[in-house]
Amino acid sequence: MNGRSLLTQGLKYGFVALLDAAALWAVIALLFRGDYILLAVLGIGTLVLNFVILSRRAYPLRFLLPGLVFLFAMVVYPIGYTVNVSLTNLQTGNLLTKAQVIAQLEGRYYLPPQPETFTFWAFRNAQGELALLLTSSDGRTFLSQGNELVPVDLSDPRFVRGEDGTVISFDGYTRLTLPEVYQSLGALEALDLRWGEAHVRLTSVREFGTFLRKYQYLPDQDAILDLETNATYYTKEGYFTSPEGVRIEPGFQIYVGFRNYLDVLTNPGIRADFTRVFGWTLAWSFLSVFFSFAVGLGLAYLLNDPYVRGRFVYRSLLIIPYAMPAFISALVWAGLFNTDLGVINRVLGDLFGVKVRWLQDPMWARTALIFINVWLTYPYMMIVSLGALQSISQELFEAARVDGATSWQRFWRITMPLLWVSVAPLLIGSFAFTFNNFTIIWLVTAGRPAVLGAATPAGATDILISWTYRLAFEGERGNQLGLASAVSIIIFIIIAVISAVNFRFTRALEDVSRSV
């Protein structure tokens, strides 16, 4: 083995050693945290990586593994996570786990009708640690030690008094001034001192008071007991709920099965919104693709004519909308279509005396969106159609011309069938892309204008993907993440069906192409 091979082997084993050391450190940390799922994933991943790097039999996997990792991280895991969320009640008010909610409730306190109050002096030592001297209403003095209150005698020599007779320092602690107390309010509010059964907590900048624990979890009943009212709250649909139907906020996450999917299909309000949004999404996708293809094909047909002068200049100019970033064009067009300040309404007003409510009226807003999307996508259709037209043999047209076929007949009998073989799969792909074209919808109208009586935040121009976003982050009842995830999976299924049709259609067209 030469020196270069030794160096290569040394670098390989050194890399594996560093990787395993980092993985071991992470495994120990995850073990102490109790995150066993992530621990298992990390352990299995580390073993697989060691096998791929060190085993000669796994040599081909060295080239496949990076792609497989990104496939899992960017595709498989997001889909799996979305499916998991869609089966839960995750929404505003149900964001925490049950254990987190129990811990939060058991950390709540209430002020009893006649609480004990304490005046206090706050002290801090060189290490920044706080200590309190508290004096009760009956004159007893207590010193905070950890989370406990310990009775003390201020005549003890360790307590140093000032000229006014009050304690100014003890055991390395120095009394805080009032401004320093205000600066330390966060730390003072976090203090929870035990005094018998009571909890002593800050009530004002001058006083501490006794609080009692509000809730207690009963594991044997899986319920919460209100220690103030003796009411018992049982788990019901992600909340601790009393027999009278009173809920304790916040709720917690639970699995609800296919309830979110059933809500989309059976809940009258959600179903009506879904049907309307889905119908507009289909219309938006079909009309955008149809008009952009019609404009692109028409321009390509004209520019394919060798007798058109300056056609190279026209091609360069007509491709500009495709060359510009879509979000910039969308924002520019949104400004042009502005009802009050837009150039389009100014021109219409000067010529015809009309003022169109482009972004406020549902019909005109949809018209504007289709126009903008056609403007952005017709260059792509023009390029594709131009390439397909140039691939058609001119001999076919010459033969048809000799047989007496008109221009219209040559177009429909020769051009379109041969063009369809190349363009049809791209049209299906464009339909699927437009189906999820969130950018244009959001930048121009943000799904507005609003629809009166809608049960969900579904605007007149919302497509499924923008409606999903608004369900997740703009709902009037909060963020409905579970429902939004269910709609996302429905969109995924629709796009998967479109893709499957596209693949099958492409194979059929390939057979047609081979027979031509």
250 preceded by a cis bond (ω within 30 of 0): yes
Rounded average pLDDT per 10-residue block, the chain, 516 residues: 71 86 90 85 87 83 85 90 95 94 94 91 94 93 93 92 91 94 93 91 92 95 95 96 94 96 93 95 96 95 86 89 91 95 94 93 96 96 92 85 86 87 87 93 94 91 95 83 95 89 69 54
Note whether 167 and 154 are within 8 A (CB): yes
How far, CA to CA in Å, does 47 sit from each of 37, 43, 60, 422?
16, 6, 17, 47
Note whether 200 and 193 are within 8 A (CB): yes
Note whether 149 and 198 are within 8 A (CB): no
Give the Cα separation of 70 and 80 in Å (integer). 15
The number of residues making up the chain comes to 516
Nearest Cα residue to 284 out of 367, 394, 183: 367
> 262 CB contacts (<8 Å, ≥6 apart)?
none
Rounded to the nearest angstrom, the gap between the alpha carbon of residue 456 and the centroid of all alpha carbons in its chain is: 18
Q: Which amino acid, one-letter code, is at 358?
A: W
449 preceded by a cis bond (ω within 30 of 0): yes
Facing residues of 174 across strands?
Answer: 124, 169
Q: Write the pLDDT tens digit of every residue in 310-340.
A: 888 988 899 999 889 999 999 999 999 999 9
Note whether 365 and 359 are within 8 A (CB): yes
Nearest Cα residue to 480 out of 274, 283, 276: 274
Residue 234 C-beta-side C-alpha neighbours within 13 Å: 6
Note whether 443 and 347 are within 8 A (CB): no
Q: Write the pLDDT tens digit of every residue in 496-511.
A: 888 888 777 766 555 5
Look at residue 346 in the predicted model and tell me its pLDDT: 95
Look at residue 465 in the predicted model and tell me its pLDDT: 95
- Element containing residue 83 per DSSP (H, E): helix 77-86
List phi, psi (to 5°) of 356.
-85, 135
Look at residue 106 in the predicted model and tell me its pLDDT: 94
* Radius of gyration, alpha carbons of the chain: 36
Give the Cα separation of 121 and 159 in Å (integer). 13
> 237 CB contacts (<8 Å, ≥6 apart)?
89, 254
Give the Cα separation of 84 and 87 in Å (integer). 5
Show the 3-state SS of 172-239: CEEECCHHHHHHCHHHHHHCCEEECCEEEEECCCCEEEEEEECEEEECCCCEEEECCCCCEEEEECCE
Give the Cα separation of 127 and 107 in Å (integer). 28
Residue 259 C-beta-side C-alpha neighbours within 13 Å: 12
Residue 103 C-beta-side C-alpha neighbours within 13 Å: 5
Domains of the chain in start order, with CATH, are 6-86 (1.20.58), 98-105+215-248 (no CATH), 109-213 (2.40.430.10), 263-514 (1.10.3720.10)
Q: Beta strand 239-241 with 247-248: parallel, antiparallel or unpaired?
A: antiparallel
Look at residue 516 in the predicted model and tell me its pLDDT: 53
Give the Cα separation of 506 and 511 in Å (integer). 9
Give the Cα separation of 95 and 480 in Å (integer). 10
Handedness of CA 442, 445, 446, 451 (dihedral sign): negative
Nearest Cα residue to 195 out of 151, 149, 153: 149
DSSP label at 414? I
Q: Which amino acid, one-letter code, is at 202?
A: L
